[in-house]
Each structure stands twice: as structure tokens, then as C-alpha cells.
Amino acid sequence: MSNTSCFYCLAALVHRINPDITEDPTTVAAGGTRVELRKQLSDDRGKAYVAAKSAPGTVRAEMEESMLVMKATLMKKNIELQEKENIKEQLLLMEKFKTLFINVSNGKAGDEVYGEMEYDKNVYNLLDELPFRKKMKAQADGEK
């Protein structure tokens, strides 16, 4: 402490208006530990964050609501796309094995045209499962 630069350090640590500095430390009430203070501060920040986040009418709440709506819309579109892809794959497989399907169906029924009719019926049923066909059916049922 004999060096002249130590006085500046001491002046920063011990200021005359600092309420934490006392002559008799045994008279001061015990405060929380650093861990407790940090936990309390963290809890307070968490509560403030939740309150600000859930407050209706705030910009943040509106943005989160719009993001959730957008996410639900994208998920719905993705599901429709997957349904279309699955039906497309099934139709391609049916087209690839059309003759086999018809021959097996004809052999079971013992009729030459039964296999072709069964194939056409299955293709029609698959096409009816496409999302746009489902919407058309729902609209037609709603008009009745």
C-alpha cells in the first residue's frame, strides 16, 4: 500500500457514501449468500419474462400467436403433401403391377373382366383419398 497507485484502488473500494462499509461488522445483519442472491435474481427475471410473455396485447404475445398459427398452417400443408406423396407412390405401384393384379383377380374370380373392374375400383378409391377430392366431397355434403 505504500505505492501511490494503491490509493486509487483503495478509494474505489472504500468510499465514504458506501453503506456496506461499517466500523463494526458484527452489528450488521447477515445477508444472503451470493448463490442465494443469484437464485433470487434469476427467479425474479424468470417471473418477469413469463409475465411479459403472457401479457395479452403485447407485441411479443402477438408475434408468438402469429408464429403458432403459421406453424399450424405449415404442419397442415406438410401433412397434405405427405398424403399426396403416399397416394402417388401407391398409384405408381399399382400401375407397375397392373397386369399382375388383374391376372390374380381374374384367377380368383374365374372371370376375365373382374380383374380390370377391381383394378379400376382400387385406383378410384385411391384418387378419392387425395386431399382436394376430400374437400370437394365435404363441400358437396355441406350443400345437401
**Residue 70 above 90 pLDDT?**
yes
**Residue 21 above 60 pLDDT?**
yes
Q: Which of 4-8, 21-25, 73-77, 94-98 has the lowest mean pLDDT?
A: 4-8
Mean local confidence (pLDDT), 64-69: 91
Q: Select the highest-mean-pLDDT range: 57-66, 69-78, 116-125.
A: 69-78
pTM reported for the whole predicted model:
0.48
- pLDDT for res 107: 79
More confident residue, 24 or 114: 114
SS (H, E, C) the chain: CCCCCHHHHHHHHCCCCCCCCCCCHHHCCCCCCHHHHHHHHHHHHHHHHHHHHHCCCCHHHHHHHHHHHHHHHHHHHHHHHHHHHHHHHHHHHHHHCHHHHHHHHHHHHCCCCHHHHHHHHHHHHHHHCCHHHHHHHHHHHHHC
**Residue 5 above 70 pLDDT?**
no
